[in-house]
Chains A and B, each alone.
Chain A
């Protein structure tokens, strides 16, 4: 291969939310960038083959088959196993892993990664979150504060297109929002009553979501189909394909290579730098070495750490970044799957319009201000109000015309929400390389050992009971609580294992997401998280990635890298 085919200014590993942002920011600053993706290409619009299908246009109504359940022993544990977008979930058989304790790992191995299938809820972290570890003596302090990250949140929100409302809440900073997707009238009714019932402490606000309510270049506003995870032909939600990849491509500085599995970072001990990466072709198994001045690791939380663990092992047996003893440790997720539901009386002449791809959000209020609980941190709620459909019980309406009428009329209003709680970083929760097993490509797999602790169990009581209390205080009837159980990983918010910090002795990355032991390697996906907060994390990965890319280019220009 010619020099221009193997030499780049920057290599980005992974093309999901973080990798797409790295590619955009680096190419726009003039760097020649190679974007490597282990899976197949998915072209915007053209490859959204199921985006406009009705359920009956699938061989199995879009559901799951016996054959699928057999082929996907992990994926079948939760909603991702389905006929509609199965191609966008990694194969459990090709890419196995070892569960020392149950850990549901739902991966997206294709161009765009899980940016195609993500839940799109987008919330900033605030200083309540960034200062928490230091204040409480948990793990290590975040090396950044909100003020440093705020302009980068502004930057990514404007480009990605986040719709939301300004609420002036210190624990959930406002952003550069497009107009919110409003609460429906059932939610508004409850939101109004909540204001009085809890003196404004428990607030119900429109979900902040990466779906457009105003057009952006090359993208249409959301069409209210709520079919985002099939890929949006209108570019209505943020994904690599709809947003960052076209921007990176437009610079002329990007080379995208699918089916490229990065198996090792090539570390030069004399330069104390990584000088390139080794790539295994996922189809041919051929190996290629690429060179670059800097590398951005955006391969997803556990996979970026896997790659560090597999690199520079001749210097550090635990891999690049392991000198702190923290590489692979402090794995986190958001624990959830519990809350409450009930029925709203009245509003029988009201309905809602379209299929809104978000709901309401109740920002964290526990351990905020003067509130003090027996556990640390807190949780937020995500939910919605809707009217029951024809599947409700209509037996009392008997036969004939009345029966038909009742079936075609909407039923009662119901409202409910699920809590998403912060999980504390714990050194015990860790991943390691399982040398005894290999994947389809002959690479050793990860072993995952993770569980929630006492703090989370205590929090879960509030997470369930608070919602019932909240709904009842707002006049909601027939309220019932639920807790359907939680296994780590189910939140699909894996975080940690290569945390940022202020000290190379206790963290893997510095405040600019640079690996302490190889400062030209930046890890900007969820691996870098020092704590989990309770907010959905992807927006923070975007902001950290853009900030790190800006720093990387500045450091290159200063000839520090």
Chain B
């Protein structure tokens, strides 16, 4: 790809901002010591579950109460929208209602969900402490670039520094949950243009007339033709 990716453009903007002496918080991330990972001691959720084999076509409302605080929901929403931002008419993760699903998910009384709850809440807590550590502020009130600076250290497991291993593991769980919840929402499914299993008779019919018109137009501009 020749164009700048969204992430790369943020990164370059951040470098420019730093170089031109604009206010950009404390010392660069590479020099600061990241906040320690502190697993939270959580009281187990003891609510009643659905029981086995619930009907998923007409699901009953979750029989457990939601447990995320307003602050946790907001912070999760900021991170979810960094993962899946709005694009044109397509809503962001929070716009598609992901946080409501996430809250229900981590508040469920099942082992996997309880595990995710521990990781998620500890991770949100770490983000707050790291925001304070680096920029002396809460995560939600940081500038977008400051937020991305922290996210940049934990969102790329392939090149994550050892000091960020646990926050990165948290972010990986969050990423899978948010993406799964977004793309199974009506808005997310619509964005994919998912057709489902439709009958197709015979060989591939070739590109649509619209696609061919576009191709020909571009070729004409180059003085070429099919």
Contact = CB atoms under 8 A, between A and B. Distances in A.
A65 B199 CA distance: 29
Interface stretch (A115-123, A156-164, A218-226, A489-497): A218-226
Contact of A65 (B52, B151, B183, B198): B52
Contacts of B57: 56-59
A408 interface: yes
Contacts of B200: 223-225, 353-354
A100 interface: no
Contacts of B85: 400-401
B86 to A, nearest CB: 11
A484 interface: no
B175 A403 contact: yes
Interface residues of A, number: 34
B56 A60 contact: yes
Nearest to A223: B199
Contact of A221 (B5, B55, B201): B201
Interface string B32-73: 000000000000000000001101110000000000000000
Among A221, A225, A227: residue with most chain B CB under 10 A: A225
A60 to B, nearest CB: 6
Contacts of A227: 197
A352 B55 CA distance: 35
A59 to B, nearest CB: 4
Interface in A206-224: 220-221, 223-224
B52 A395 contact: no
A66 B53 CA distance: 7
Contact of B56 (A52, A56, A220): A56
Given A65-B52, A395-B172, A400-B83, A408 B192 contact: yes
Contact of B179 (A56, A353, A401, A407): A407
User: How large, as a class, is the contact surface on chain B?
Assistant: 20 to 34
Contact of B199 (A67, A225, A400, A404): A225
Given A221-B201, A353-B200, A65 B53 contact: yes
B53 A396 contact: no
B172 A404 contact: no
6 nearest CB pairs, A to B? A223-B199, A65-B53, A353-B204, A66-B52, A401-B6, A398-B155
Given A395-B172, A396-B156, A399-B82, A220 B201 contact: yes
A355 B197 contact: yes
A226 B82 CA distance: 38
Contacts of B56: 56, 58-61
A213 to B, nearest CB: 8
B183 to A, nearest CB: 7
A346 B179 CA distance: 27
Given A353-B203, A408-B192, 17 more contacts: A59-B56, A60-B53, A66-B52, A67-B52, A225-B200, A353-B204, A354-B204, A390-B183, A395-B156, A395-B157, A396-B157, A396-B158, A398-B7, A400-B7, A400-B85, A402-B6, A403-B83
Contacts of A61: 56
Contacts of B172: 395
5 contacts: A59-B56, A353-B200, A395-B158, A398-B156, A401-B5
B87 interface: yes
Interface of B: 5-7, 52-53, 55-57, 82-85, 87, 151, 155-158, 172, 175, 179, 183, 192, 196-204
A395 B155 CA distance: 8
Contacts of A58: 56-57
Given A221-B201, A225-B197, A225-B199, A401 B53 contact: no
A474 to B, nearest CB: 25
Interface in A337-368: 353-355
Interface string A399-422: 111111001100000000000000
B87 A401 contact: yes
Contacts of A223: 199-201
B183 A407 contact: yes
A557 to B, nearest CB: 44
Contacts of A65: 52-53
Contacts of A399: 7, 82-83, 151, 155, 175
A35 B157 CA distance: 64
Contacts of A147: none
A234 interface: yes
A408 B203 CA distance: 24
A54 interface: yes
Contacts of A390: 183
Contacts of B199: 223-225, 234
Contacts of A404: 84, 87
B84 A403 contact: yes
A400 B155 CA distance: 11
Interface string A32-59: 0000000000000000000010101111
B7 A67 contact: no
A221 to B, nearest CB: 6
A67 B53 contact: yes
Among A54, A65, A403, A407: residue with most chain B CB under 10 A: A403
Contacts of B151: 399
A281 B57 CA distance: 36
A95 B52 CA distance: 26
Contacts of A354: 200, 204
Contacts of B82: 399-400
A355 to B, nearest CB: 7
A58 B183 CA distance: 19
Contacts of B183: 390, 407
Interface string A58-72: 111100011100000
Among B55, B83, B84, B199: residue with most chain A CB under 10 A: B199
A99 B197 CA distance: 39
Nearest to A352: B204
Interface string A521-536: 0000000000000000
Contacts of A402: 5-7
A225 B198 CA distance: 7
Nearest to B189: A56
B185 to A, nearest CB: 12
Contacts of B192: 408
Nearest to A213: B202
Nearest to B51: A66
Nearest to B59: A59
Among A67, A355, A400: residue with most chain B CB under 10 A: A400
Interface string A368-409: 000000000000000000000010000110111111100110
Nearest to A182: B203
